[in-house]
């Protein structure tokens, strides 16, 4: 096998290419190039009666340029003279920038043909040669396709006025005969098989999972549902929560606390309690302590509430063993009729048509 590969890498392929001309009849242009080659080894002996695979590549620009078309011909046999024949364009496409052989842009650039032959396990490069003018006859096929419309020519002279009455024609339908006046008639064929224009009207009805058409058959829609069973409700499932476990019927379960970053398994150890001892407020579980800044001097929130009392002409406040007395006799000269009033909310003692006194300091 190694000797065969060495010989194949050294052999010289003598190509005799016959590009067959075909006379162009009507719109027929052959899409392919006849290709013949005789394979000889380095001694000049033909490689006869062999089966080979041939890969053809059409390359644009230069021998190592862009591959526009690549195809493989498999199982090509050489004859007793080492000759093999194929048609470039009839092989199996294996690559290239165009999808079909007839799409090769022959007019865009120069083109080259690369030939590779496989005798054993790999393709061997047999050389690349430039196409001459003959293959470009394929480009003549484009002459069969109309080109773009040319520029609009100059407007011609206005013709003579016609007879408007000569175009006055009437269509008439009699039975299935359609006629035009001053012209011909045609027979209209209605393949209706009856004279009723409405008996083809039908209605669709859905009954359960069956779709029915009047005057016809029905189909069972459930046959087209890939449910793998005949039970339409067995896919229904329920969610349930048992402490930390979330379960789905006919399925699996998950533990929710596994998804909670709690750093422990005790859900209640974050619960804390506020405690008050005197003027000290404490949060349980090491939550800290604050001091109540209210300076009440005692724990009784109501002992500051007092009342005014009048004994004779002496005004005092309650809840005081030695209250300050206010003698009101100086105001009882009866020179005018006034009323005295006290506002416990503001501790203001007011005299009608007179002044006021703030009793806050007496509390």
CA distances to 30, 91, 103, 122, 355 from 88, rounded to whole Å, are: 11, 7, 14, 21, 127
**Token pair of 83, please?**
């000759």
- Residue 51: pLDDT over 90: no
- Residue 59: pLDDT over 90: yes
**Token pair of 34, please?**
């006849």
Confidence of residue 313 (pLDDT cuts 50, 70, 90): confident
Average pLDDT value over all residues in the chain? 77
Q: Same structural domain for residues 122 and 16? A: yes
Q: Same structural domain for residues 329 and 257? A: no
Between 346 and 192, residue with greater pLDDT: 346
- Residue 293: pLDDT over 90: no
Q: Same structural domain for residues 139 and 228? A: no
Number of DSSP helices (H) and strands (E) in the chain, helices first: 1, 26
How far is it, in rounded angstroms, from Cα 109 to Cα 295? Answer: 104
How far is it, in rounded angstroms, from Cα 225 to Cα 223? Answer: 6
How far is it, in rounded angstroms, from Cα 181 to Cα 312? Answer: 136
Place of tokens 């394979």: 39
Q: Same structural domain for residues 93 and 80? A: yes
Confidence of residue 218 (pLDDT cuts 50, 70, 90): confident
How much is the pLDDT for 217?
83
Strand partners, 240: 247
How far is it, in rounded angstroms, from Cα 131 to Cα 58? Answer: 9
How much is the pLDDT for 65?
95
The reported pTM is 0.36
How far is it, in rounded angstroms, from Cα 266 to Cα 45? Answer: 93
Q: Same structural domain for residues 245 and 357? A: no
How far is it, in rounded angstroms, from Cα 356 to Cα 349? Answer: 5
Strand partners, 178: 173, 186
What number is the average pLDDT over the span 188-208?
A: 76
Please give the tally of structural domains in the chain: 4
Q: Same structural domain for residues 42 and 101? A: yes
Query: Domain ends where: 214, 246, 267?
Result: 267
Query: Domain ends where: 125, 143, 161?
Result: 143
Q: Same structural domain for residues 227 and 254? A: no
- Cβ atoms of 102 and 31 within 8 Å: the answer is yes
How far is it, in rounded angstroms, from Cα 235 to Cα 249? Answer: 10
Terminal CA-CA length for the chain: 125
- Cβ atoms of 328 and 314 within 8 Å: the answer is yes
In a domain, 32, yes or no: yes
In a domain, 160, yes or no: no
Domain region containing 127 = 2-143
């Amino acid at each position: 096998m190694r000797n065969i590969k060495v010989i194949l890498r050294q052999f010289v392929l003598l190509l005799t290419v016959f590009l067959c001309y075909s006379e162009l009849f009507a719109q027929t242009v052959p899409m392919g190039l006849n290709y013949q080659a005789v394979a000889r080894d380095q001694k000049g002996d033909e490689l006869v009666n062999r089966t080979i695979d041939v890969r053809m590549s059409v390359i644009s620009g230069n021998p190592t340029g862009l591959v526009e078309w690549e195809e493989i011909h498999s199982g090509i046999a050489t004859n007793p003279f080492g000759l093999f024949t194929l048609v470039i364009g009839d092989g199996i496409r294996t690559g290239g920038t165009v999808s079909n052989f007839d799409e090769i842009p022959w007019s865009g650039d120069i083109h080259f043909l690369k030939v590779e032959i496989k005798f054993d396990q790999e393709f061997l490069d047999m050389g690349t040669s430039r196409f001459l003018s003959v293959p470009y006859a394929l480009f003549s096929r484009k002459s069969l396709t109309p080109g773009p419309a040319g520029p609009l020519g100059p407007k011609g002279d206005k013709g003579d006025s016609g007879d408007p009455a000569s175009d006055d024609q009437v269509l008439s339908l009699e039975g299935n005969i359609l006629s035009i006046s001053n012209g011909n008639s045609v027979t209209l064929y209605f393949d209706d098989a009856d004279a009723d224009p409405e008996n083809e009207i039908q209605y669709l009805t859905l009954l359960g999972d069956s779709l029915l058409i009047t005057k016809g058959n029905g189909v069972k829609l459930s046959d087209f549902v890939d449910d793998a069973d005949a039970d339409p409700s067995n896919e229904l499932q329920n969610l349930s929560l048992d402490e930390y476990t979330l379960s789905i019927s006919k399925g699996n379960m998950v533990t929710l606390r596994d998804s909670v970053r709690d750093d422990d398994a005790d859900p209640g150890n974050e619960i804390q309690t506020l405690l008050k001892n005197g003027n000290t407020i404490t949060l349980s579980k090491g939550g800290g302590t604050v001091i109540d800044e209210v300076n009440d001097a005692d724990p009784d929130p109501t002992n500051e509430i007092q009342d005014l009392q009048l004994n004779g002409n002496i005004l005092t406040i309650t809840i005081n063993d030695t209250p300050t007395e206010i003698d009101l006799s100086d105001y009882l000269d009866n020179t005018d009729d006034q009323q005295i009033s006290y506002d416990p909310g503001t501790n203001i003692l007011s005299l009608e048509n007179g002044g006021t006194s703030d009793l806050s300091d007496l509390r």
